[in-house]
A and B are shown apart, each in its own frame.
Chain A
Amino acid sequence: MPQDHKRIERRAFLKKAGTAGALALGAGWASLAPPNWLFSLRDPDGERGKPRKEVIRLPENGFAVEPSATLPVLGVARGQNLDAMVRASIDAIGGISRFVSSGDIVVIKPNVAFERSAALGATSNPVVLASLIRIVREAGAREIRVADNPIESPESCFQRSGIRQAAVEAGARIYLPTPADFDTLNVPGATWIEEWPFFWRPFIGADKVIGVAPVKDHNLCRASMTTKNWYGLLGGRRNQFHQDIHGIISDLALMMKPTFVLLDGSRVLFRSGPTGGSLADVREGHTIVASTDSLAADAFGWEELLGRGDEELPDYFAQVAARGLGNPDWRSVTIKDRQVG
Chain B
Amino acid sequence: MNPNKDGSPWYTRTFRITSVRIFTQAFFFSLFMFLLWVTWFSRLQGYPVSLFLEVDPLVGIATALSTHTIYRWLWRGLWVLIPTLLLGRVFCNWMCPYGTLHQFFGWLFNIRNNRNNIDKNRYRGIYQLKYIILTVLLVLAAFGSLQIGLLDPICLLVRTMAITVAPASDLVALNLGEFIADRGGDGRLVSFLSSAPGAPVQRIFTGAWFVGILIIGLVGMNLIIPRFFCRVLCPLGALLGVLSRFSLWRIDRDVTKCTDCDLCLKHCEGASDPQAALRKSECFVCFNCIDDCPEDALSFRLAPVPVKDRIIGKIREGTASLFGKPLRSKIPETEIVAPDMPRRRWVFATITGVLAYPFLRLSAAVNARGFNEKAIRPPGTVEESEFLERCIKCDQCINVCPTNVLQPSTLAEGGFEGLWTPVMNFSVGFCQLNCTLCSEVCPTGAIQKISLEQKIGVAEHEEAGPIKLGTAFFNRGRCLPWSMETPCVVCEEVCPVTPKAIGTYDEEFTRWDGKIVTLNKPYMRPELCIGCGICEHECPVLDDAAVYVTAIGETRSDNRSLLLERRSGNT
Contact = CB atoms under 8 A, between A and B. Distances in A.
Interface residues of B, number: 41
Interface string B425-463: 000000011110000000000000000000000000000
A275 B500 CA distance: 9
A152 interface: yes
Contact of A201 (B181, B402, B433): B181
Interface stretch (B85-93, B131-139, B362-370, B490-498): B490-498
A278 B498 contact: yes
A69 interface: no
B488 A115 contact: no
A202 interface: no
B540 A237 contact: yes
Interface stretch (B101-109, B194-202, B205-213): B194-202
Contacts of B403: 152-153
A154 B197 CA distance: 10
Given A220-B487, A243-B480, A276 B542 contact: no
Given A180-B187, A275-B498, A242 B488 contact: yes
B520 interface: yes
Contacts of B500: 219, 272, 275
A242 B498 contact: no
Nearest to B539: A239
Contacts of B187: 180
A208 interface: no
B177 interface: yes
A149 interface: yes
Contact of B497 (A220, A240, A277): A277
A134 interface: no
Most B-side CB within 10 Å, residue of A177, A220, A276 = A220
A116 interface: yes
A154 B496 contact: no
A224 to B, nearest CB: 9
B520 A220 contact: yes
B499 interface: yes
Interface in A213-238: 218-220, 237
A244 B487 contact: yes
Nearest to B188: A178
Interface in B179-236: 181, 187, 197-202
A108 B258 CA distance: 77
A116 B434 contact: yes
B263 interface: no
Nearest to A280: B498
Contact of B178 (A180, A220, A243, A275): A180
Given A115-B432, A178-B200, A239-B539, A275 B177 contact: no
A159 B539 CA distance: 26
B487 A242 contact: yes
A229 to B, nearest CB: 15
B471 to A, nearest CB: 19
Contacts of B539: 239
Contacts of A115: 432-435
A274 B493 contact: yes
Given A155-B402, A179-B174, A243 B488 contact: yes
B402 A153 contact: yes
B221 to A, nearest CB: 36
A281 B571 CA distance: 12
A283 interface: no
A178 B496 contact: no
Contacts of B534: 151-152
B200 A154 contact: yes
A109 to B, nearest CB: 16
B482 to A, nearest CB: 13
A239 B540 contact: yes
Interface string B81-125: 000000000000000000000000000000000000000000000
B493 A218 contact: yes
A178 B186 CA distance: 13
Contact of B498 (A149, A243, A281): A281
Contacts of B498: 272, 275-278, 280-281
Contacts of A149: 200
B41 interface: yes
B435 A151 contact: no
Nearest to A246: B487
A176 B42 CA distance: 12
B538 interface: yes
Interface in B55-102: none
A314 to B, nearest CB: 11
B487 A153 contact: no
A63 interface: no
B469 interface: no
Contact of B499 (A156, A218, A240, A272): A272
B288 interface: no
B352 interface: no
Given A220-B489, A243-B487, A274-B493, A153 B432 contact: yes
A179 B174 CA distance: 8
A109 B432 CA distance: 23
A114 interface: yes
B496 A155 contact: no
A37 B434 CA distance: 58
A179 B202 CA distance: 7
A338 interface: no
Given A242-B493, A275-B494, A155 B433 contact: no
A180 B200 contact: no
B128 interface: no
Contacts of B486: 243
A116 B432 CA distance: 10
B174 A178 contact: yes
Nearest to B480: A243
Contacts of B492: 219-220
Contacts of A179: 174, 200-202
Nearest to A174: B198
A160 interface: yes
Nearest to B171: A179
Given A152-B403, A153-B402, A220-B489, A178 B199 contact: yes
Scoring B42, B497, B538, B542 by chain A CB atoms within 10 A of each residue's CB, the highest score goes to B42
A318 interface: no
23 contacts: A115-B435, A152-B534, A153-B435, A154-B198, A154-B200, A155-B198, A160-B434, A178-B177, A178-B197, A178-B199, A179-B200, A179-B202, A201-B181, A237-B542, A239-B539, A242-B488, A242-B540, A243-B486, A243-B487, A274-B493, A275-B495, A275-B496, A277-B498
Interface of B: 41-42, 174, 177-178, 181, 187, 197-202, 402-403, 432-435, 480, 486-490, 492-500, 504, 520, 534, 538-540, 542
Interface of A: 114-116, 149, 151-156, 159-160, 176-180, 201, 218-220, 237, 239-240, 242-245, 272, 274-278, 280-281
Given A178-B199, A240-B540, 15 more contacts: A151-B534, A152-B433, A156-B435, A160-B434, A179-B174, A179-B202, A180-B181, A219-B493, A220-B489, A237-B542, A244-B487, A272-B498, A272-B500, A277-B498, A278-B498
